[in-house]
């Protein structure tokens, strides 16, 4: 995987991705696909041979109104993908019975992203029951498979769309982005914490005078392992101060 | 991203991942989550404070019977995650209002995979309407966010589960796996193809004697660009042979 600017190619253009649902039957699935598109910033949905009723019901349902409102219907797959320079079909079938090259999503997604930088790409999803037909697949340059397990390969349509779009929207560089977090407590904070805790433990009889030296080191290490941020170190100091006050009075 | 054996750590153990749905309401979503788990090879589902009716309805529905049949119910989140060494909450909320470190899925997924090699990990999903509560989040070591767009961050529960599990099951090395494809046609096949096509074009008057040399080179390059496999080269030769026969009779 390229570590820098993905081998110098231009950025993918989100509007270049066309999600094509072929013969979808269930309005909930059409709606779920539209919602996932909106979640990941893709807005061009195309429907081929959709059940009229399913499409109407989906349109009247919640969320991602934008995607569904603008979705276009086509009588044939050829017309739906006419403007696309790359046509990719999704399938859960193993490679043995296919006449097409079959790529895993991790690899295929990268090729799609690359192509999206310069030209429209169609990503096809078949009907819930039968997937894409051989006729549908003959319009594809290649096929793509989500790496599901062999015993249960077939995914729900809305979930399959979500997973594919996530892979396409996924930022490989983000694997290395550390979490946003508060500032780590300073060594000074840690040392004050150590002293307070030691005093509290001495007052409560946990520390014996004879063992004081080794206990202090143990406590110091214990506190460093907490990986405290500035805020939490302050909270701890406040609690210890209060405990100490109570112990002394 | 490590190119070889993911920095020498052991393989993740699928059974170490516990998917915890907190207060889910919709049986369809519980079913969809279970189906995605089965698709990606995770089988330990836990439900906290689920609507009894929703759970029962989900159980009686289709697919991934295994996951739902074995799903366990817990009265509190503390009990549901008691055996886990890492507890991660999912959220669609931005980092500003959270008291926890927030990691993107690309990065968080890697940490989860690493931990799964040695200890049980809980991945929490909140209710469809409200997500995880502050109380729920206080049980988490950190939070994780699917990189959805700002204008529409909240995902459908079943789709969110599918996307997270895909990232965890995803094989970074597969980004480089070339597609399974048939053997590329040999130079010999290509040359026979070139000759046949040239003969056909000569017979049909496309090639003028004067231009024959440059046309042959154009055709040779044209055919190389087709990237044919052995099988397709054979089909082409058969078609050309038949056309030639027709032209000669």
From CA B31, how far away is CA B57, in angstroms rounded?
9
Q: Are residues B119 and B238 in the same domain?
A: no
Residue B228 pLDDT class (50, 70, 90 cuts)? confident
Q: Residue A219, by phi and psi: left (phi above 0), alpha (psi -120 to 50) or beta?
A: alpha
Residues forming beta bridges with residue A127, ordered by sequence position: A131
Q: Are residues B128 and B236 in the same domain?
A: no
Asked if A157 and A33 count as a contact pair (C-beta separation under 8 A), the reply is yes
Q: Are residues A46 and A147 in the same domain?
A: yes
- CB contact under 8 Å between A147 and B175, yes or no, is no
Q: Are residues A168 and A191 in the same domain?
A: no
Average pLDDT of the residues in B81-85: 94
- CB contact under 8 Å between A102 and B153, yes or no, is no
- CB contact under 8 Å between B174 and A41, yes or no, is no
Asked if A45 and A21 count as a contact pair (C-beta separation under 8 A), the reply is yes
Residue with the two structure tokens 């993908």: A81
Q: Are residues A103 and A205 in the same domain?
A: no
Q: What is the pLDDT of residue A106?
A: 95
From CA B86, how far away is CA B115, in angstroms rounded?
8
For residue B79, count other CB atoms closer than 10 A to its CB.
13
B15 assigned to some structural domain = yes
- CB contact under 8 Å between B101 and A38, yes or no, is no
Q: What is the pLDDT of residue A3?
A: 35
Supply the CATH number for residue A197's domain.
Answer: 1.10.8
Final residue in a domain of this structure, among A176, A196, A225: A176
A182 assigned to some structural domain = no
A144 assigned to some structural domain = yes
Q: Are residues A32 and A147 in the same domain?
A: yes
Q: Angle formed by the axes of helices B27-40 and B52-60, to 10°?
A: 50
For residue A151, pLDDT beyond 70: yes
Phi, psi of A143, rounded to the nearest 5 degrees: -115, 155
Q: Are residues A121 and A202 in the same domain?
A: no
Nearest CA to CA, how far is A91 from chain B (Å)?
A: 14
Q: What is the pLDDT of residue A4?
A: 37
Would you state the structure tokens that stand for residue A202, as one six-digit string? 């001495």
Average pLDDT of the residues in A36-42: 95
Q: State the Cα torsion B190-A112-B112-A154 to the nearest 10°.
A: -80
B1 assigned to some structural domain = no
Asked if B157 and B91 count as a contact pair (C-beta separation under 8 A), the reply is no
For residue B151, count other CB atoms closer than 10 A to its CB.
9
Q: Are residues B26 and B124 in the same domain?
A: yes
Report DSSP state, residue A227. Answer: -
Average pLDDT of the residues in A239-247: 89
CA atoms within 13 A on the CB side of A69: 6
A68 assigned to some structural domain = yes
* A192-201, B4-13, B73-82, B211-220: which is most confident: B73-82
Q: What is the pLDDT of residue B78?
A: 94
Residue with the two structure tokens 């507890």: B87
Q: Are residues A89 and A142 in the same domain?
A: yes
Supply the CATH number for residue A157's domain.
Answer: 3.40.1280.10
Question: What is the ipTM, given to two decimal places?
Answer: 0.80
Map residue B51 onto helix, strand or coil. Answer: coil
What's the domain range around B143?
Answer: 6-176
Contacts of B50 (CB under 8 A, 6+ apart): B21, B23, B24, B30, B73
Please report the beta strands in chain B, taking only residues with DSSP state E, as ranges in sequence order. 17-22, 44-48, 72-74, 86-90, 102-104, 121-125, 142-145
Phi, psi of A98, rounded to the nearest 5 degrees: -105, 145
B217 assigned to some structural domain = yes
Phi, psi of B92, rounded to the nearest 5 degrees: -105, 5
Residue A167 pLDDT class (50, 70, 90 cuts)? very high
Residue A94 pLDDT class (50, 70, 90 cuts)? low
Would you state the structure tokens that stand for residue B38, as one six-digit string? 């089965």
Nearest CA to CA, how far is A46 from chain B (Å)?
A: 20
Nearest CA to CA, how far is B31 from chain A (Å)?
A: 11
Instruction: State the burial class of residue A25 (Cβ atoms within 10 Å of its Cβ: 0-12, 13-18, 19+).
Output: middle
Contacts of B171 (CB under 8 A, 6+ apart): A104, A106, A147
* pLDDT tens-digit series, residues B96-153: 566 778 899 999 999 999 999 999 999 999 998 889 998 899 899 999 999 999 888 8
Residues forming beta bridges with residue A21, ordered by sequence position: A47, A125
Residue B80's nearest CA partner among B19, B141, B133 is B19
The answer, for A111 touching chain B at a CB cutoff of 8 Å, is: no
Residue A172 pLDDT class (50, 70, 90 cuts)? confident
Mean pLDDT lowest among A17-21, A57-61, A141-145: A57-61
Q: Are residues B151 and B62 in the same domain?
A: yes
Asked if B198 and B232 count as a contact pair (C-beta separation under 8 A), the reply is no
- CB contact under 8 Å between A159 and B159, yes or no, is yes
Instruction: State the burial class of residue B114 (Cβ atoms within 10 Å of its Cβ: 0-12, 13-18, 19+).
Output: middle
- Tell me the whole-structure pTM to 2 decimals: 0.81
The answer, for A152 touching chain B at a CB cutoff of 8 Å, is: yes
Average pLDDT of the residues in A98-123: 91
Average pLDDT of the residues in B190-202: 88
The answer, for B187 touching chain A at a CB cutoff of 8 Å, is: no
A163 assigned to some structural domain = yes
From CA B168, how far away is CA B144, in angstroms rounded?
13
Final residue in a domain of this structure, among A130, A145, A176: A176
Nearest CA to CA, how far is B27 from chain A (Å)?
A: 14
B192 assigned to some structural domain = yes
Q: Are residues A212 and A97 in the same domain?
A: no
Report DSSP state, residue B124. Answer: E
Strands of B86-90's sheet in order across: B72-74, B44-48, B17-22, B121-125, B86-90, B142-145, B102-104
Nearest by CB to A179, which of B102, B110, B170? Answer: B102
Would you state the structure tokens that stand for residue B120, as one six-digit string? 């049980």
Residue B178 pLDDT class (50, 70, 90 cuts)? low
Q: Are residues A115 and A235 in the same domain?
A: no
Contacts of A229 (CB under 8 A, 6+ apart): A181, A182, A183, A184, A185
Final residue in a domain of this structure, among B121, B148, B176: B176
What total of structural domains would you count in chain B? 2
Residue numbers of B between 124 and 143 with CB closer than 8 Å to A: 142
Asked if B62 and B31 count as a contact pair (C-beta separation under 8 A), the reply is yes
- CB contact under 8 Å between A35 and B155, yes or no, is yes
């Amino acid at each position: 995987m390229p570590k820098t600017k993905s081998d110098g190619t231009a950025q993918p253009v989100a509007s270049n991705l066309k999600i094509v649902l072929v013969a979808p039957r269930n309005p909930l699935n059409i709606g779920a696909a539209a919602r996932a598109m909106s979640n990941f910033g893709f807005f061009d949905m195309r429907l081929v041979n959709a059940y009229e009723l399913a499409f109407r019901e989906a349109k009247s349902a919640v969320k991602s109104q934008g995607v569904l409102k603008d979705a276009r219907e086509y009588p044939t797959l050829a017309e739906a993908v006419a403007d696309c320079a790359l046509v990719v079909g999704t399938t859960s079938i193993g490679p043995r019975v296919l006449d097409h090259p079959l790529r895993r999503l991790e690899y295929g997604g990268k090729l799609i992203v690359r192509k999206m930088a310069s030209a429209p790409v169609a990503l096809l999803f078949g009907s819930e029951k039968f997937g894409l037909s051989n006729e549908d697949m003959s319009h594809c340059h290649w096929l793509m498979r989500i790496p599901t397990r062999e015993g249960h390969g077939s995914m729900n349509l809305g979930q399959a769309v979500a997973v594919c779009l996530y892979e396409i929207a996924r930022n490989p560089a983000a694997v290395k982005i550390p979490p946003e977090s508060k500032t780590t407590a300073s060594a000074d904070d840690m040392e004050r914490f150590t002293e307070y805790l030691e005093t509290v433990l001495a007052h409560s009889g946990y520390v014996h005078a004879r063992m004081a030296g080794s206990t202090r080191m143990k406590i110091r290490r214990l506190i460093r392992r907490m990986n405290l941020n500035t805020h939490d170190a302050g909270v701890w100091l406040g609690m210890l101060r209060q405990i100490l006050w109570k112990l002394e009075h």
